[in-house]
Structure 1
Amino acid sequence: HTDLEKINFISVKENGLLSTVESFKYCARVIKHELKINFNHHSLRHTHATMLNENNINPKAIQSRLGHSRMDMTDKYTHDTDMLNKEAAKAFEKVIGGHDK
């Protein structure tokens, strides 16, 4: 007998039970067809990677979380955002002697 460690799943239903693949598929259909948003469950991986990137998480850590063996694959999952562009502009202004806005 081994002690089992409690696992806190991030994808659970309101009743605390683990969401199934079918639950995700249903939600994806509702989002795509009823809300008219171009979405599939795989989009969440892109969002995850981009949010980590926006928060200055080391790219190797993002690569590890996504389970990619190559960084070029991880690069395809991180997207340019307004927030990243604003931070880049601020950094450039600071480098060339501008002031923070």
Structure 2
Amino acid sequence: MTKYLSIKMYLADIQTFTKQHMINWALTTKWLNHNAHGSATSDAHSKDVAWKIKTSTITLPTLGILNRNFPDIIKNRTDCLPCNSEMETNHHIWRCPVILPRLLTTCD
């Protein structure tokens, strides 16, 4: 039931953003379908697609999620490794003062 409510809220956000023209669906489709590896069956392409889906659905395996799913392995470590100032979450990754400049440089 909790997952249903979470998905329902996520879809409601997408609907709202679509109505407000905040999502460029043509560009989103192009981005999701882009294959930089030439073969639809390559491992690299599969990993790229998985990353694209996880970033767009806010489900990257952050330390918070890994700690929740594997508490014996992670041992309560949830702070962002690069900045060590906040809990690493899918939202923090895009705001982290250490990660963000690296992402921007990569995208240039």
TM-score scaled to structure 2, two decimals?
0.24
Larger Rg: 1
* Bigger helix share: 2
